[in-house]
Structure 1
């Protein structure tokens, strides 16, 4: 029996959420339908794609490889369904501020889809830190921002979260923690830690560490995700970062594995922000509706 597009969608949603229940909610289907689809997919490829535990569904090595190919397949299908079919004659200029992580790991794919759907829409992108984004939105220099929504609590801004990317522990291949049945912040505290600082990652990290009696043994602080990737892959330390920025290989071609931690670690929330009370223009609304449709959220103002 051939692998179906539906099975691929169910597999990807489960991999991204780490929970069959959350994937079922996101796809508006039953948990049993997802469970059956994944079992059939595992039989078809002849490999176990998830390890199942009380913490959720963790991708196996085969599962991570499958996810890589699944993303490629979904991207090709997306290209097929959008080729030479502009979705609207909407035109205008939209000034969008975005943070470093969003520009590097989230927006490129969406900007290309927006370009195909709205060829007359000129999206002007500005990379800034959170303080500059918030100040620019309030000063009307930018129409909208795409940012880590959990980082802002400015009462003069409205936010809307579209994606919650789980944070997991990054370790090099064959690391000792991979053999443990359960890994929490206590075990992580015994390891040299590579602390990412960009987009207030260090501040976010210390918030969940502070709820435990443990602290990370920081070997290096860096603003470069690629530096974290290479250092972890080369056995210089471990890090806790989101699935959105995870890649299974470093620039040197060394493997990076992930572990779902037993302690509660907040996801990295990504979405839109805008000045509270501002009237949405047609191009602003089209931009917002695009993301709502992409993440299956209710449409409308």
Structure 2
């Protein structure tokens, strides 16, 4: 078992399809398939169930995935040892939006505490408008936000990852049997509209490029409510891979499909005011995120070494 096999295995587990994993890793599908077969032979058990919708982890596969995450995390920690010794101390105030705090930041806050123990990091959950105003008035040193939602010329913005948006369907939905879904098909289904972090506004922006409109059945600020409504067959939605989980709280399966119509990605990144240089503490965090997300060897579906 080697690091290459582990990375290919994790990419397949996270994407649910060999083709998506190969695209994320910029290698051939045969390389992914070979690595999985090698692991299954080594452990003498099936790690995936091959279905018409892709690759689903078996119980043994889920157990191995947890161990793989631990291995990759330890590897990253070893690679960061020299950076840790150079860490500056100080206090830093970070502003973040709801989606970033819920689905992106916790993992990194834990790593930052271990990599940079001298830093005192304070996080504030705010709307995009409040973040932009806070950066302009120096209330916050740095923001981690949906960069696809901002076009403020007063901010310096760096995108770290671009999370694809896909159609979410309940298991067994008729559309899951097709590979030519368009917005006309989606418009005929009851639609569950997420509203948090300007999601509804963003949705209508890309829907407006078509002649169709979603038939909104429910508007909610809860991602878990959207997940449960879709999984239980009350409607469909389009959301990003970053907030996707294959199961609802009730244990029902959620499938994803890629419509023919182009859908913009949900982008996550850093922002700070152009009017002043980042503080030494902010520079440490900026360097951390750049190293993880903007260094090619660390990139797997936008999740560094994950």
User: For the superposition of Structure 1 and Structure 2, which TM-score range results when normalised by the shorter chain?
Assistant: 0.7 to 0.9
Distance 1:203 1:271, change over 3 A: same
Q: Which residue of 2 aligns with 1:160?
A: 158
Q: 1:264 to 1:65 in 2, by over 3 A?
A: farther
Instruction: Name the counterpart of 1:60.
Output: 54
Tell me, yes or no, if the aligned pair for 1:8 and 1:70 is still in contact at 8 Å.
no
* CA distance in 1: counterparts of 2:239 and 2:178, whole angstroms: 20
Distance in structure 2 (CA, Å) of the matches to 1:212 and 1:65: 42
**Pairing of 1:14-163 with structure 2 (within 5 A):** 18=20, 20-21=22-23, 23-24=25-26, 31-32=27-28, 35-44=29-38, 45=40, 60-62=54-56, 72-81=66-75, 82=77, 87-88=84-85, 89-163=87-161
Runs (5+) with no aligned partner, structure 2: 41-45, 297-306
Shift of 1:23: 3.2
Q: Could you give the per-residue CA deviations for residues 179-210 of structure 1, whole angstroms, max 9, x where no partner exists?
A: 11321212111110000000010111111111
Q: Is the 8 A contact 2:91 2:120 kept in 1?
A: yes
Secondary structure class of the residue paired with 1:263: coil
Instruction: Name the SS of the counterpart of 2:248 in structure 1.
Output: coil
> In structure 2, what is the equivalent of residue 230 of structure 1?
228
Contact 1:197-1:223 within 8 A present in 2 as well = yes
- Equivalent residues, number: 281
SS at 1:87 equivalent: helix
Normalising to structure 2: TM-score of the pair?
A: 0.83
User: In the alignment, is the contact (CA less than 8 A) between 1:12 and 1:67 conserved in 2?
Assistant: no
Could you say which residue in structure 2 is the equivalent of 1:248? 246
Quick one: structure 1 residues 270 and 71, their matched pair in 2 at CA, closer, same or farther if it must change by over 3 Å? farther
The answer to whether structure 1 residue 179 and structure 2 residue 181 are counterparts is no
Partner Cα separation in structure 1 for residue 194 and residue 141 of structure 2: 29
Q: Give yes or no for contact 1:170–1:256 (8 Å, CA) kept in 2.
A: yes
Residues of 1 paired with 2:202 and 2:20: CA distance?
21
Find the partner of 1:279 among 277, 280, 289.
Answer: 277
Deviation for aligned residue 1:138: 0.3
* Secondary structure in 2 matching 1:252: coil
The 1:5/1:108 distance shift into structure 2, 3 A limit, reads: same
CA distance in 1 between counterparts of 2:58 and 2:265 reads: 19
Q: Between 214-223 and 78-87, report the one with greater CA deviation.
A: 78-87
TM-score when scaled to structure 1? 0.84
Contact 2:148–2:267 under 8 Å retained in 1: yes
Partner of 2:197: 199
